[in-house]
Amino acid sequence: MDYKKAINFIVSRRREDLAEADAFFKRLLSARPEFRQAELALRAAQLDFAKGKGSEKEVKRLEKIRDDVIDKLGVREKLYPSPHCKKCGDTGRTGKEICGCVKKLAIETRGDCVQFPMRLFEDADFSVFSERDLPLALKTAAELKAIALKGAEAKRKNINLLGKTGTGKTYFASCFAGESSLAGRTVVFITAFSFVDRALKYHTSFTADKAEQLSPLLDADVLIIDDLGTESMLKNVTAEYLYHVINERQLNKRTTLITSNLSIDEIAIRYGERTASRLFDKKLCYTREFDFKDIRKIDI
Ligand SMILES: [Zn+2]
């Protein structure tokens, strides 16, 4: 489930809870004379008070009586159901921020592929970057966020985050995933290792459901392949399926983000020129070679 769907789920679950509470209230009115009596007496007093006749004290007294009846019947939670999330009151947002309950639900209900934290750039801790690296880190974050927000409209659909381990590539990828998900796009995250595992299953399977191995990778609006270069090179599988997936996605104008410890040249040698030319097509790609100092403490 992406962030947008998770928010919708949380908000409509709250709406259903309240509708159920309302139906329960109506049933209670007809089934419990003591509640009905307390409720009607309170309403009459409130009406009088609104007209300037009764007293506030009387309203308070009748409120108390009604409250006591509710507690005696033990129906408070049914009449006034608490939100599932106290932080956002089941609105999914705390101010402008996405509430943690949304992120949790989105992650818990994610389909297959790797469980992977989705983040937002605004939550990123840039203090981990050195003074030298900070401007480029901020620039990269802003550019990636802009691409994520443009979604299918973005021109640059192949994003390559290259550089040594611990420079923040995967962290940036997880923020890109979060922003894309928030914009309503489906995101699939997979390690290069799992990618090859799926490709191999597809390649060696003759069952009707074999397409399930590759279709999430082809159909997701955003595919993230993490740590390209760490997987095993299987003959007729690794390079071939990587090309197939990247090429298909490019033809269908879908976004693919890879992170890799390899350089552009090393990628060309390992996977072949045609894959490299797809990944690094100048018009269609956004490539950032990270030479940030080790910020492994934030890397995932
Ligand atoms: Zn919440």
Nearest to 192 by CA among 241, 159, 225, 238: 225
How far is the centre of ligand 1, averaged over its atoms, from the C-alpha of 241 (Å)? 40
Look at residue 189 and give its three-state secondary structure.
strand
Burial (0-12, 13-18, 19+ Cβ within 10 Å), 49: middle
With beta carbons less than 8 A apart as the criterion, state whether 67 and 34 touch.
no
Torsion of CA 202, 169, 272, 210, to 10 degrees: 10
How far is the centre of ligand 1, averaged over its atoms, from the C-alpha of 99 (Å)? 5
Q: How far is CA 60 from CA 43, 50, 53, 77, in A?
A: 11, 14, 15, 21
Per-residue model confidence as pLDDT tens for the chain (300 residues): 777 888 999 999 999 999 999 999 999 999 999 999 999 999 999 999 999 888 899 999 999 999 999 999 999 999 999 999 999 999 999 888 888 888 777 766 665 444 567 788 888 888 888 888 889 999 999 999 999 999 889 999 999 999 988 788 988 999 999 888 888 788 888 989 989 998 998 898 887 777 777 888 888 889 999 999 999 898 889 999 999 999 999 999 999 999 999 999 999 999 999 999 999 998 999 999 987 776 655 444
**What are the structural domains of the chain?**
3-79 (no CATH), 111-298 (3.40.50.300)
How far is the centre of ligand 1, averaged over its atoms, from the C-alpha of 24 (Å)? 25
How far is the centre of ligand 1, averaged over its atoms, from the C-alpha of 116 (Å)? 20
How far is the centre of ligand 1, averaged over its atoms, from the C-alpha of 108 (Å)? 14
How far is the centre of ligand 1, averaged over its atoms, from the C-alpha of 110 (Å)? 18
- Torsion angles phi and psi, residue 93, rounded to 5: -135, 145
Name 287's bridge partners: 160
How far is the centre of ligand 1, averaged over its atoms, from the C-alpha of 71 (Å)? 27
- Torsion angles phi and psi, residue 241, rounded to 5: -75, -30
How far is the centre of ligand 1, averaged over its atoms, from the C-alpha of 220 (Å)? 27
Q: What is the pTM of this model?
A: 0.65
